[in-house]
Amino acid sequence: MNFEHTEERRMLADSLNRFIAEQYGFETRDRIAASSQGYSSEMWAQFAELGVIGALLREEDGGFGGSGFDIAVVFEALGRGLVIEPFLGSAVLAAEAIAAAGSGAQKARLADIADGSLIAGFAHDEPETHYEPARVRTQATRSGDGWIVNGTKSVVVQGEAAGLFVVSARTAGAIDDEAGISLFLVPHDAEGLDVRGTPTIDGGRVAELRFTDVKLDAGALLGVEGGGFAVLERATGRGVLALCAESLGAMEAAKEATLDYLRTRKQFGAPIGSFQALQHRMADLLLEIEQARSAVINAAAALDLDRIPRERALSAAKMSIGRIGTKVAEECIQLHGGIGMTWELPLAHYAKRLVMIDHQLGDEDHHLERYIALGRQRAA
């Protein structure tokens, strides 16, 4: 199989990396991360103008890419620049849910997502969920032709900025049943919806959503009643790939910064990179990063396969990325010494992001268990 990127993807990667290097330097990123908004509207508009958002959506959904390798190319570049604009929640998770299950009218919103005029939020996680995708407490009950929603959603990325939410709610079944989960499109200004934002340790903002007798009309239902789990799984799978690629980009940036430091920092009159013990540690790190790259390639290639091979490849990648990303963060800081922990050095922020990526959409332990369970399903 040929894993070389097409000319279009290479051009996209080059233009995106160049734009981030020139317009999204660390000082700019740090200022955006510390802002009350948690992202930059101006930068978001420029990313949309460059076609970066559209590259994450399929052509039939208003974009011009949307394949696994398109996602990988974009998010690796975003990871290199520690970009905190709402690509994951809006252009990957929410957009995929709408594309997979939406009616014609609902899918029309994808054009607004692609051009950056609409930020969509993906509201699925709940307090005490612990990564279990079918564990949904939020309730949606029938009320005439519409619905009434009650419950809480947590850690909704850029929830304050979202104009529209994809919300999971239980319409039937027990709290952890895969059947009985339905999806709804809920506007930000819906009466009874309370959105409370908070900053995150690695930059940007997340929000908690509280639904108190939120009334929705019949057109708010996304897809088939009770059939939302499969859609959630597909959307989350694309999100897992995006996070893995983002982590790979952050690893590469941390590696390059560490190599530069080893070449320039001197001790006993020689660059510390000439010390054999440090060379061995760096060599081990380079091999780990190449293993992470292979995992991302495998996951990207598997994105359109049948369910079990697709989900196993995604869980294998996330499991590897969680372990390797944490190791890269720890080793790069140790190789820098005390300066690696300082707020002014970009490396500390890369380390935070690498560790936090492990906890998004399922950590290393969760995906190891899931990989094993999926293997048993295939063997049955």
Q: How does pLDDT run across 138-156, given as a tens digit for each residue? A: 999 999 999 999 999 999 9
Q: Output the 3-class SS for the chain.
A: CCCCCCHHHHHHHHHHHHHHHHHCCHHHHHHHHCCCCCCCHHHHHHHHHHCCCHHHCCHHHCCCCCCHHHHHHHHHHHHHCCCCCCHHHHHHHHHHHHHHHCCHHHHCHHHHHHCCCCCEEEECCCCCCCCCCCCCCCEEEEECCEEEEEEEEEEEECCCCCCEEEEEEECCCCCCCCCCEEEEEEECCCCCEEEEEEECCCCCEEEEEEEEEEEECHHHEECCCCEHHHHHHHHHHHHHHHHHHHHHHHHHHHHHHHHHHHHHCEECCEEHHHCHHHHHHHHHHHHHHHHHHHHHHHHHHCCCCCHHHHHHHHHHHHHHHHHHHHHHHHHHHHHHHHHHHCCCCHHHHHHHHHHHHHHCCCCHHHHHHHHHHHHHHHHC
Cβ atoms of residues 5 and 16 within 8 Å: no
Rg (alpha carbons) of the chain, rounded to whole number: 21
* Token couple for 289: 């990063």
Confidence of residue 1 (pLDDT cuts 50, 70, 90): low
The reported pTM is: 0.95
Q: How many angstroms separate the CA atoms of 145 and 45, rounded? A: 38
Q: How many angstroms separate the CA atoms of 86 and 212, rounded? A: 26
Query: What pLDDT score does 238 carry?
Result: 98
Query: What pLDDT score does 97 carry?
Result: 98
Cβ atoms of residues 90 and 113 within 8 Å: yes
**Looking at per-residue confidence, does 270 or 196 come out higher?**
196
Helix axes 307-336, 228-264, angle to 10 degrees: 30
Q: Where in the chain is the domain with CATH 2.40.110.10?
A: 120-226
CA-based nearest residue to 120, from 192, 178, 62: 62
* Token couple for 303: 């994105």
In terms of CATH architecture, what is 230-379?
Answer: Up-down Bundle (1.20)
Query: What pLDDT score does 343 carry?
Result: 80
What are 215-252's pLDDT values in tens digits? 999 999 999 999 999 999 999 999 999 999 999 999 99
Q: Where in the chain is the domain with CATH 1.20.140.10?
A: 230-379
Instruction: Determine how β-strand 164-170 pairs with β-strand 120-123.
Output: parallel
Name the residue with tokens 């697709």: 310
* Token couple for 152: 């809480």
* Residue 7 confidence (pLDDT) above 90: no
Cβ–Cβ contacts within 10 Å for residue 58, how many?
17
Q: Which residues contact 151 (CB under 8 A, 6 or more apart)?
A: 126, 137, 138, 139, 169, 210, 211
Confidence of residue 106 (pLDDT cuts 50, 70, 90): very high
Rounded to the nearest integer, the mean pLDDT of the chain is 94
Q: How many angstroms separate the CA atoms of 273 and 246, rounded? A: 27
Q: How many angstroms separate the CA atoms of 39 and 274, rounded? A: 41
Confidence of residue 2 (pLDDT cuts 50, 70, 90): low
Query: What pLDDT score does 275 carry?
Result: 83
Query: What pLDDT score does 31 carry?
Result: 94
Query: What pLDDT score does 129 carry?
Result: 87
Identity of the residue numbered 217: D
- The pLDDT > 90 percentage for the chain reads 85
What average pLDDT score do residues 195-219 get?
A: 95
Assign domain 120-226 one CATH number from 3.40.50.300, 3.90.1300.10, 2.40.110.10, 3.10.129.10: 2.40.110.10
Q: Where in the chain is the domain with CATH 1.10.540.10?
A: 7-114
Cβ atoms of residues 214 and 190 within 8 Å: yes
What are 302-346's pLDDT values in tens digits? 999 999 999 999 999 999 999 999 999 999 999 888 888 888 889
Cβ atoms of residues 297 and 316 within 8 Å: no
* Residue 380 confidence (pLDDT) above 80: no
Assign domain 7-114 one CATH number from 3.30.420.40, 1.10.540.10, 1.10.3720.10, 3.40.50.1970: 1.10.540.10
